[in-house]
C-alpha cells in the first residue's frame, strides 16, 4: 500500500503564501533556474541571545555531568574486572606488599568505587555550580555588549 506523495510547496513570503502556477511553454527552458531559485528562498532569522537562565543551566549541567560520571564509573568497573581477570590486580598487590613490607595491603574494589562515587557526585555538584556562575557572568557581560548573535536557517 503506497502513500500519496506531496509535492514541495514554496515557503510563504513576507506578504503571505505564494501562488504556484503551471509552467508556460515559453518557460520550459528556464525550469532549472526556477528550481535553484526555490532553494535560495530559505528563510533566515537573526536571533540575539541576551540572557541564559541559571536554573536551566544548573539542571542541564547536573544531568550532563551525572551522565559523564556514570560513564567514567562504568569504564572503571569494566577496567577493574578486566585487570582482575588477567591477574594484574594480584600482581600489583604482591608488588606493593614486597616493596613496602606491608602484608595487610589489598586492592578493594568496593572501597575504590564507593570513594569514586562520592568524589564523582561532589564533582557533579561543583562543576554544575561553576556552570551557573558562568551563566551569571554571561548575563552580566551580555548586558554590556548585547549578547551573542546567531543566524538560524530553515532546512528544506
Residue-wise pLDDT for 62-80, tens only, equals 999 999 999 999 999 999 9
Residues in contact with 12: Cβ distance below 8 Å, sequence separation at least 6, in sequence order: 18
Looking at the DSSP bridge assignments, the partners of residue 49 are 148
Mean pLDDT of 140-153: 91
The three-state secondary structure class of 87 is: coil
* Whether pTM exceeds 0.75: no
Which pLDDT score, from 0 to 100, does residue 44 have? 86
Q: From CA 67, how far away is CA 152, in angstroms rounded? A: 29
Return the half-sphere exposure (C-beta side, CA atoms, 13 A cut-off) of residue 110. 0
Q: From CA 70, how far away is CA 64, in angstroms rounded? A: 10
Which residue in the block uniquely carries the three cell numbers 557526585? Answer: 121
Q: From CA 16, how far away is CA 9, in angstroms rounded? A: 13
pLDDT at residue 34 is higher than 90: no
Q: From CA 66, how far away is CA 68, in angstroms rounded? A: 5
Which pLDDT score, from 0 to 100, does residue 140 have? 95
Looking at the DSSP bridge assignments, the partners of residue 47 are 150
User: pLDDT-derived band of residue 137, with 50, 70 and 90 as boundaries?
Assistant: very high
Taken as a whole, the chain contains a residue count of: 156
pLDDT at residue 26 is higher than 80: no
Q: From CA 126, how far away is CA 91, in angstroms rounded? A: 36
pLDDT at residue 51 is higher than 60: yes
- Domain locations in the chain as residue ranges: 49-153
Amino acid at each position: 500500500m503506497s502513500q500519496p506523495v506531496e509535492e514541495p510547496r514554496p515557503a510563504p513570503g513576507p506578504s503571505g503564501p505564494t501562488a504556484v502556477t503551471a509552467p508556460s511553454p515559453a518557460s520550459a527552458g528556464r525550469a532549472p533556474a526556477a528550481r535553484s531559485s526555490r532553494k535560495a528562498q530559505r528563510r533566515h532569522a537573526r536571533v540575539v541571545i541576551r540572557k541564559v537562565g541559571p536554573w536551566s543551566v544548573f539542571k542541564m549541567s547536573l544531568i550532563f555531568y551525572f551522565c559523564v560520571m556514570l560513564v567514567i564509573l562504568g569504564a572503571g568497573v569494566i577496567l577493574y574486572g578486566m585487570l582482575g581477570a588477567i591477574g594484574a590486580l594480584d600482581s600489583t598487590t604482591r608488588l606493593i606488599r614486597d616493596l613496602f613490607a606491608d602484608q595487610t595491603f589489598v586492592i578493594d574494589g568496593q572501597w575504590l568505587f564507593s570513594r569514586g562515587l562520592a568524589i564523582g557526585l561532589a564533582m557533579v555538584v561543583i562543576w554544575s555550580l561553576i556552570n551557573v556562575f558562568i551563566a551569571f557572568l554571561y548575563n552580566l557581560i551580555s548586558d554590556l555588549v548585547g549578547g551573542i548573535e546567531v543566524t538560524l536557517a530553515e532546512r528544506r
